[in-house]
Structure 1
Amino acid sequence: MTIENIIENLNIPTSRISKRIPKNSFETNTKLTSAEKKYLANDVKLITLEYSLVQQNIQVPAILDDEYNYSAINIISVQLNSVRNFKKIASVINKSIPTANLLVFYLDDEQIPICLLHTQTKRINQADKSKMVLLEEYYSGWLDFDIKQWIPLSSSGMTECESIGMTKNSHSELDSEFTNKNDLSFRGLTTESIKVYASFFDAIRYENLIKYDLKAMYQDIIDKMVALEIATKLGYFSLDDIAEKKEILRQITELTKQNNSLKKEHKKAINFSDKANLNMQIQVNRKSIEDLENKLKEFGS
């Protein structure tokens, strides 16, 4: 499987655009920080608008009001030189392009040909209508193009785990950093994981998306990406009870973020009692996370 296969698998019924988006256009549309300019310059090789789904070409109603802009769903491929800052690059693109975007990041290295699908909800800034407020982001794990392996990177953004820069001969780093042997998503496919990937890629094909309106369609894509993460815990892909499952994952995310902050405070703390109190809070959060994960697994029982 190649980036072409990933795009073609979506089975979009409109003509493909495949128009390059100059990197400097993002500086024109949005005020970028020096760091954001650096990410675009160093980490991005090519950005391409593959498709733009609008009411006129797919006859699915657009949603555009004071709060949301779902006048289009753009499918954009982003060829990377390094995966280290893909989330920051996604933020730049989503701030600059106000409509909904499905980003397909890929590293087209002959030794490490991988891709990742990314979505992000956002709303119009009420103080400045020309700006967007970025909300929740959801993304698949890094997928090998031939789907022989999946590197789990918190599919729907449920942890603060950041990816490492990837160059040739970095497979060992990926193994040690991201492989969870308790997940079905560790290196080497199981029968269950093959079914999971097949179900996910089938679910995000155009003919299988909700077409009530463009907002509902985009949310449907998000739900299926969340279902992919849940599948790594349950061993099968299912959209049943997705709202309840998503809420559980949201709570896990929040508790995980709290623990990450508490751990940093614990390292800096000097007073023994402060360290003890912080450690107690961390343990309470860990227990809550464990309870939530067990609750999630009950859906599969």
Structure 2
Amino acid sequence: MEKKLTKAFFTKNFDLSSSEKKFLTNDILSMEWLGNIKPVNSNVSTYQTATYSFEEIQVFTVLIPNNQISKLAQKAIQLIQKYIPYQAVVIAEDEFEFVIGLCDKRINQADKSKRTIEQHYFSPVLSKLFKNELQTGLYDALAFEKLDKTNLETVYKSYVQALANYQTALLTGTFSKRSGVRTEKDMELLATMDRLEAEIASLKVAVKKENNLNEQVKLNVTINKRRQEIETIKKQLSEE
């Protein structure tokens, strides 16, 4: 069922920016459509509102050069997600590693044929060569028989929740498939932690540039406070 997705498909059908065209040409080796999940082949019903449409879930792979996963995977996934109007699971891979990418797509009210991406969800870099207990937990959670098949929206959200549960597991050391409500809370905590870590990185740069000792002290105090906040979040994520 695999079908090659050509670069010409994107350049002819979509208004790519010059940087996107350059990225597509230089950094993406190939793309494939692996298949889809829809009512006719899954016996799972569609779900649609004025804002969201889950008619089918498309699955794609994007091949990028070896040893470039950390640098290019998210960008490659974002490119596919931006121009494919369906809900999609996109896997960016090289010979040894891969990243799974999902996103929330809202119907563009000005043009119903287009979608507005609200948020991306990415897995960490995963190895093809080995898997540990946490990765085994992730793969088990992603198995079709383990998904919530109330409709295609719940199927897609099951994928998102599995990635969130894995991110939590990397901090707690144990993979646990949590409820949807708990997973949403965890996702909020993970997003807050990412923001705090980004703030710490910015503050460290400011410390290096600051010549005034008193200001350096203030900045370092703030850094320590943010680190304490991160530790508090880790404890909250570890709670059952």
Superposition TM-score tier, normalisation by shorter sequence: 0.7 to 0.9
Corresponding residue of 1:96: 83
- Give per-residue Cα distances to partners, 1:56-112, cap 9 Å, x unaligned: 32221222333223211111111111322221221111110011111122112xxxx
How far apart are the structure 1 equivalents of 2:51 and 2:122? Answer: 23
Compute the TM-score of the two structures, normalised by the length of structure 2. Answer: 0.86
One of 182, 186, 196 as aligned partner of 2:134: 196
Partner of 1:139: 122
2:64 aligned with 1:80, yes or no? yes
Provide the rounded CA distance (Å) in 2 between the counterparts of 1:296 and 1:254.
16
- Distance, in Å, in 2 between the alignment partners of 1:66 and 1:268 is 50
Tell me the TM-score normalised to structure 1 length: 0.70
Q: Does 1:64 align with 2:51?
A: no
Q: How does 1:280-299 map to 2 (within 5 A)?
A: 280-299=221-240
Q: 1:286 to 1:57 in 2, by over 3 A?
A: same
- The residue number in structure 2 matching 1:205 is 143
133-142 vs 262-271, which deviates more? Answer: 262-271
Contact between 1:252 and 1:289, CA under 8 Å: does it hold in 2? yes
User: Is the counterpart of residue 242 in structure 1 residue 229 in structure 2?
Assistant: no
**Structure 1 counterpart SS, 2:15:** coil
Q: Give the deviation of 1:42 after TM superposition.
A: 1.5
Instruction: Give the Cα–Cα distance (whole angstroms) in 2 for the partners of residues 27 and 297 of structure 1.
Output: 46
1:136 Cα deviation from its structure 2 partner? 2.5
Contact preservation (8 Å) 2:62, 2:77 = no
Alpha-carbon separation, structure 1, partners of 2:214 and 2:160: 43
Structure 2 Cα separation of the partners of residues 269 and 24 of structure 1? 50
1:28 equivalent in alignment to 2:28: no
State how far apart, in whole Å, the 2-side matches of 1:266 and 1:131 are: 44
Q: CA RMSD in A?
A: 2.3
Distance in 2 (CA, whole Å) between partners of 1:289 and 1:98 is: 36
More helix by share: 2
C-alpha contact 2:147 2:155 (8 A) present in aligned 1: yes
Give the equivalent residue in structure 2 for 1:255: 196
| 1:22, distance to aligned residue in structure 2 (A) | 0.9
5+ residue gaps, structure 2: none
- Which protein has greater RCO, CA pairs closer than 8 Å, 6+ apart? 1
1:225 corresponding residue in structure 2: 163
* Structural mapping, 1:176-191, within 5 Å: none
CA-CA distance at 1:18 after TM superposition:
0.5
Partner Cα separation in structure 2 for residue 263 and residue 141 of structure 1: 24
User: Retained in 1: the 8 A contact 2:76–2:92?
Assistant: no
Look up the equivalent residue of 1:99 and give its one-letter code. Y
Deviations 1:177-200 (A, max 9, x none): xxxxxxxxxxxxxxxxx3322222
Unpaired runs of 5+ residues, structure 1, are 1-16, 149-193
Describe how 1:261-276 pairs up with structure 2 within 5 A: 261-267=202-208, 275-276=216-217
1:160 aligned residue: none
Q: Compared with structure 1, are the counterparts of its residues 44 and 274 closer, same or farther at alpha carbon in structure 2 (3 Å cutoff)? A: same
CA distance in 2, matches of 1:203, 1:119: 15
| 41 and 292 in structure 1: CA distance in 2 versus 1, 3 angstrom threshold | same
Name the counterpart of 2:34: 50
The separation in 1 between residues aligned to 2:15 and 2:219, in whole angstroms, is 39
Percent of matched pairs sharing the same residue: 27
Range 230-239 or range 122-131, more displaced: 122-131
Instruction: Name the stretch that deviates more: 221-230 or 246-255.
Output: 246-255
Instruction: Give distance in 1, aligned partners of 2:27 and 2:116.
Output: 24
Deviating beyond 6 angstroms after TM superposition, the runs of 4 or more aligned structure 1 residues are none
Size of the aligned set, in residue pairs, is 234
* Counterpart for residue 105 of structure 1: 92
Q: Deviations over 1:190-243 (max 9, x none)?
A: xxxx33222221221111111111111111011111111212222221113323
